[in-house]
Amino acid sequence: MKRLCTFSLLALCLLQVVPVGAQSMLTPEQLAKREKRRNLTVKEWNTDAKTNTRWLDHIKVYDSQGRCVEEIEYATYGQRSRVTSTYDDVTGKVVEEVEYNDRNRVVRIRKYEWNSDGTKAKQYNYLPNGKLYSVKVFEYIFSDK
């Protein structure tokens, strides 16, 4: 009984320390994955079977917290597209994504709002000049089937 009370007290203390949005957001498995990705850069290479020629296909860059902050896709001529992500420090969720074209010019800006349970609520799509052009609203419907 004493162990159970001590555990409950410890859990209650942790709930007060951890921000509300971050409590239910990440599972232990997700935290372990992020830990492995800290300050990591992953390069994906393709190799032609006939000529044995290699070319860069994809790059993913992770920050010190293990979150993907940049993703670049390449074609034979060079960069095809690039997406940078900005995260909320409290919840750890993506708040903004900026998409670039093959000339490294902004094509689209996406900003996100999240529900308290960690699901995506809204996505705001902006033109490169910062003008809002659409809003996507997410609705979650659960069935008993």
Domain range enclosing 49: 22-137
In a domain, 7, yes or no: no
In a domain, 8, yes or no: no
In a domain, 15, yes or no: no
In a domain, 16, yes or no: no
In a domain, 143, yes or no: no
What is the domain count for the chain?
A: 1
Residue 9 has pLDDT above 50, yes or no: no
pLDDT by residue (tens digit) across 45-101? Answer: 999 899 998 899 999 999 999 999 999 999 988 999 999 999 998 888 999 999 999
In a domain, 52, yes or no: yes
Question: For 28, phi and psi rounded to 5 degrees?
Answer: -55, -35
The SS3 of residue 68 is strand
pLDDT by residue (tens digit) across 20-36? Answer: 444 446 788 888 888 88
* Distance linking the first and last C-alpha atoms of the chain: 40
Residue 13 has pLDDT above 70, yes or no: no
In a domain, 47, yes or no: yes
CA-to-CA dists, residue 92 to 13, 48, 62, 105, angstroms: 21, 39, 13, 27
CB 71 within 8 Å of CB 81 = no
Q: Residue 86's domain is classified under what CATH number?
A: 2.40.128
What is the three-state SS of 109-132? EEEEEECCCCCEEEEEEECCCCCE
Residue type, 61: V
